[in-house]
């Protein structure tokens, strides 16, 4: 399964100092409650897919469930389950969150905490 499929939820960065915004970590923790998983499980999926995407991008390749399974030493069925669980919880792909984090880094002009320093609108 190719991770280039579209998602249903649109993610956007919050304006700096927006009091109604939640960080990526807070957002993922809130979404986890609705599907009965721990918030840090969703955080870990963003980290895993992000690492995979960065590694594969350097080689000119696209992340996939099969590549995830090889990289993180699990079956493709387990990798698909994790991806489906994440998407059901958030309405978006872990790669959508990863891309948003990199946009936040670019917008800030430097190094920020990729989970606690990125606020979502």
> How confident is the model over 24-78, as pLDDT tens digits?
999 999 999 988 999 999 999 999 999 999 999 999 999 999 999 999 999 999 9
What pLDDT does residue 9 have? 61
Q: What are residue 78's phi and psi, to 5 degrees? A: -65, -40
Q: Domain residue spans in the chain?
A: 22-108
Q: What whole-number distance in Å separates Cα of residue 32 and Cα of residue 42?
A: 7
Collapsed DSSP state (helix, strand, coil) of residue 42:
helix
> How confident is the model over 62-119, as pLDDT tens digits?
999 999 999 999 999 999 999 999 999 999 999 999 999 999 999 888 888 888 888 8
């Amino acid at each position: 399964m190719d991770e280039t499929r579209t998602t249903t939820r649109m993610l956007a960065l919050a304006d700096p100092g927006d009091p109604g915004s939640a960080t990526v970590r807070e957002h993922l923790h809130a979404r986890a409650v609705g599907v009965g998983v721990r918030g840090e499980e969703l955080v870990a999926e963003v980290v895993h897919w992000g690492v995979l995407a960065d590694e594969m991008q350097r080689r000119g390749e696209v992340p996939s469930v099969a590549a995830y399974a090889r990289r993180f030493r699990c079956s493709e069925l387990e990798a698909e389950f994790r991806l489906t669980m994440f998407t059901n919880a958030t309405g978006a792909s872990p790669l959508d969150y990863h891309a948003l984090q990199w946009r936040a880094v670019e917008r800030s002009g430097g190094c920020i905490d990729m989970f606690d320093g990125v606020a979502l609108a």
